Amino acid sequence: MSVASEPVGPGSADVQVSFCAAMVDEWARCGVAHAVVCPGSRSAPLALALSLDGRISVHMRLDERAAGFFALGTALASGRPAVVCTTSGTAAAELHASVVEAHLARVPMIVCTADRPPELHGVGAPQTIDQTRLYGGSVRFYAEPGVPSLQGARTWRSLGARSYAEALYGPLGPGPVHLNLAFCEPLVGDPSAVPPGREGNAPWHVVSERSRVGEGMAPMAARLAGRRGILVAGGGAVSHAAGVTPSVGSVGSAVHGLARSLGWPLAAEPRSGCRVVPHVSVAAADGILRSDAARKALKPEVVVRLGSPWASKVVTGWLDDLAASGVSEVIVDPWWTWSDPGRQAGEIVVAQPEPWCSEIREVIADSKCPPSSSHGAREDPSSWQAAWDAAESAAQEAIDEWCSTHPEATEPGLARAISSWLPAGGTLVVSSSMPIRDLESYGASMAPGTRVLANRGANGIDGVVSTALGVAGAAGAAGCAGLPVVALVGDLAFLHDSSALVRPAGEAGPPCTVVVADNGGGGIFSMLPYGALGGTSRFEQLFGTPMQPGVAGMASAAGLETWDVATMAELGDVLRCIEEGASGSAPTVVRVALPSREENADLHRDLNTRIVEAVEAVFA
């Protein structure tokens, strides 16, 4: 979209601030509740309009990179786009990582970069770079309306409402939009020329979501019923409103209901929303499928994947091997993201997972699709489910037994303890690299209403602390104070996003507990092929990368309370304090001292061996 920039005479400052006031009013009418603003001069008209409106909470952040991920966190928590506002130049470039993550993870954001007017480009003006389509194909919508003028006033409200709609309802699903907004000096004026909005405080444009479910359900149900299959649920399989704790048994009921109707196991990773009590799911799929006997005995005829892929290479590799051997694989994906790295899926269904599962279940219940006779006689479906249940029980017992013999803090024990502890309504933000893998492999089923969030769009460790603080900020604004927001990150991820700890003077910051698994560097690298170099100077230089100052020094410099724990018992004490509200109203850092990275790799191997032995015994 483009609006011609016409000559702007005296009083242009009033026009510019009127444009910004109209945009902010439209965003508030649409439902924007949070804006993240970075200090700068060229962005002053928009920053002031956001601050003066009163309906949108304004969060100030010094570092634009941290600001982008903070905005992403508020959107993860609320489901609504936040506005992020920066000045021109390299400030705009600093947002790129968060824009990429929002794009790939389908998180709505409205990115507003201030820019110099056209006459200041190409002449060496300070803080002036080419910001045209700065984020390339990572945005759902791009607009450069030019320097605001009264001749274009009729377009202002449409642009504000459309930017919100494009961030939420575009054909590719939620994601970031980019508004590159040119302003000229003077930058402060009187918003006296704001065009009126629609009556009743309605947005200028309202979008009605379309249904993607309903066609071809009976044939699909017929292909699934009566066959040995498995539902594999990843992030996004189930969703619920931020700050709303569903009743016991309601979370994931559609997905679990379909699994019961088909007599299939449901393998659920933590972000799926399906690994919750009292429902029964397979949480230890990574450990189970390390067993050759289990892979042979538990081979399905059809796989239905809901949500995004797991982090576990064991699980994703198993799925690829199944598909390559002729096992039918169906991916249910509402956004046409083609989430099939192995390029083996036979069918892509464009639908929201929960409604799709409900409709398939209804068709089966109405007996419109009797079990298919084309596959021959099948054993009692309960025996198929029972085999998976036995493997899951054996794996879970092995994990519990292993944890009971390791009173010292370990990465698997840390993931197990936090997932078991997180109370209903709480939120866990997990870093990429080892924390998400440990939670996926060793985490327990969680209380209903808990949420597990992670930046798994691009799978980087970028901005995870900022994201967690954004989640906490949105949760507090939504009236969820008292429900814990906990981040589980590695020490490198914590240090990588240390600017997240910088906040305005006098501001405590949103209450969030950041649990840092500290083994003095990149622990995951000791488990990869070049981990054989472990202990050498070259390995430490390129992969281990221990940093200074450490976690405690960085947290202390930011003025944050820090707890040091080295045993699982000490961690339990800290978690109880958090649940009782003793962590206060500001971010708190819990540094968990872990064994060396080499020992950590050995501990993981030992636990995986114990799980495999227990599962092998089931199928002996």
Q: 145, 174, 201 — which closes off a domain?
A: 201
Instruction: For residue 69, give Cα distances in angstroms to 176, 190, 235, 515, 562.
Output: 12, 32, 19, 18, 23
pLDDT at 245 (0 to 100): 44
Instruction: For residue 284, give Cα distances in angstroms to 436, 445, 568.
Output: 14, 10, 21
pLDDT at 275 (0 to 100): 93
pLDDT of 55 > 50? The answer is yes
Domain assignment present for 511: yes
Residue matched to tokens 């060396």: 596
**How many distinct structural domains can be found in the chain?**
3
pLDDT of 536 > 50? The answer is yes
Phi/psi at 23 (5° precision)? -60, -45
pLDDT of 416 > 90? The answer is yes
pLDDT at 252 (0 to 100): 63
Domain assignment present for 4: no
Tokens of 323: 């598909």
Q: What does the pLDDT average to over 404-431?
A: 95
Phi/psi at 143 (5° precision)? -140, 140
Please check whether residues 221 and 314 belong to one and the same domain.
yes
Tell me the torsion sign for CA atoms 286, 107, 465, 460. Answer: positive
Q: Give yes or no for a cis peptide into 186 (omega within 30° of 0).
A: yes
SS (H, E, C) 529-594: HHHHHCCCHHHHHHHHCCCCCCHHHHHHHCCCEEEEECEHHHHHHHHHHHHCCCCCCCCEEEEEEC
Domain assignment present for 617: no
Q: What percent of the chain has pLDDT over 90?
A: 70
Q: 395, 426, 444 — which closes off a domain?
A: 395
CATH number at residue 336: 3.40.50.1220
Please check whether residues 59 and 115 belong to one and the same domain.
yes
Average pLDDT score over the chain = 89
Rounded Cα gap, residues 488 and 510, in angstroms: 16
Please check whether residues 425 and 382 belong to one and the same domain.
no
Residue matched to tokens 């067993």: 291
Residue of 48, 22, 8, 53 lying closest to 193 (CA atoms): 22
Please check whether residues 236 and 373 belong to one and the same domain.
yes
Please check whether residues 351 and 328 belong to one and the same domain.
yes
Domain assignment present for 5: no
Please check whether residues 233 and 345 belong to one and the same domain.
yes
Domain assignment present for 450: yes
pLDDT of 148 > 70? The answer is yes
pLDDT of 5 > 70? The answer is no
Domain assignment present for 614: no
Domain assignment present for 109: yes
Please check whether residues 363 and 446 belong to one and the same domain.
no
Please check whether residues 28 and 155 belong to one and the same domain.
yes
Q: 395, 429, 456 — which closes off a domain?
A: 395
pLDDT at 135 (0 to 100): 97
Rounded Cα gap, residues 168 and 288, in angstroms: 38
Q: Contact, 46 vs 191, CB < 8 A?
A: no
> Got the DSSP string for 275-318?
SBTTS--B--HHHHTT-HHHHHHT--SEEEEESSPPS-HHHHHH
pLDDT at 248 (0 to 100): 41
Least confident of 36-50, 254-268, 378-392, 559-573: 378-392
pLDDT of 498 > 60? The answer is yes
Q: Contact, 468 vs 76, CB < 8 A?
A: no
Please check whether residues 500 and 459 belong to one and the same domain.
yes
* Per-residue confidence band for 212, with pLDDT thresholds at 50, 70 and 90: low
Indicate the pTM of the whole model: 0.90
pLDDT higher for 395 or 530? Answer: 395
Q: What does the pLDDT average to over 70-97?
A: 96
Instruction: For residue 25, give Cα distances in angstroms to 160, 335, 559.
Output: 8, 30, 36
Tell me the torsion sign for CA atoms 39, 44, 48, 50. Answer: negative
Please check whether residues 354 and 424 belong to one and the same domain.
no
Q: What does the pLDDT average to over 542-562?
A: 87
pLDDT of 477 > 90? The answer is no
Domain assignment present for 610: no
* Per-residue confidence band for 408, with pLDDT thresholds at 50, 70 and 90: very high
Q: What does the pLDDT average to over 17-33?
A: 97
Please check whether residues 192 and 222 belong to one and the same domain.
no
Instruction: For residue 330, give Cα distances in angstroms to 274, 304, 309.
Output: 18, 5, 13
Instruction: For residue 402, give Cα distances in angstroms to 80, 281, 524, 618.
Output: 42, 21, 20, 18
Distance, CA of 410 to chain centre: 25
Rounded Cα gap, residues 190 and 483, in angstroms: 42
* Per-residue confidence band for 279, with pLDDT thresholds at 50, 70 and 90: confident
pLDDT at 340 (0 to 100): 81
DSSP 195: P
The pLDDT tens digits for 88-126 are 999 999 999 999 999 999 999 999 999 999 999 999 998
Tokens of 79: 């489901």
pLDDT at 342 (0 to 100): 78
Q: Contact, 144 vs 155, CB < 8 A?
A: no
User: Which segment, 3-7, 340-344, 345-349, 395-399, is predicted with the most confidence on average?
Assistant: 395-399
Rg (CA), the chain: 26
Please check whether residues 238 and 189 belong to one and the same domain.
no
Q: Give yes or no for a cis peptide into 203 (omega within 30° of 0).
A: no
The pLDDT tens digits for 227-252 are 999 999 999 898 754 444 444 445 56
In degrees, rounded to 5, the angle at the alpha carbon of residue 264 between the alpha carbons of residues 261 and 270 is 110
* Per-residue confidence band for 586, with pLDDT thresholds at 50, 70 and 90: confident
Tokens of 467: 């994201």
pLDDT at 218 (0 to 100): 87
For residue 232, the enclosing domain spans 217-395
Least confident of 24-28, 39-43, 253-257, 334-338: 334-338
pLDDT at 6 (0 to 100): 44
pLDDT of 171 > 60? The answer is yes
Distance, CA of 602 to chain centre: 30
Q: Which residues contact 587 (CB under 8 A, 6 or more apart)?
A: 469, 472, 501, 509, 510, 511, 512, 513, 514, 560
Rounded Cα gap, residues 323 and 301, in angstroms: 10
pLDDT at 213 (0 to 100): 64
Q: What does the pLDDT average to over 277-281?
A: 85
CATH number at residue 568: 3.40.50.970
Q: Which residues contact 236 (CB under 8 A, 6 or more apart)?
A: 106, 271, 272, 306, 307, 308, 353
pLDDT at 579 (0 to 100): 82
The pLDDT tens digits for 369-381 are 544 434 444 456 6
Residue matched to tokens 């109405």: 366
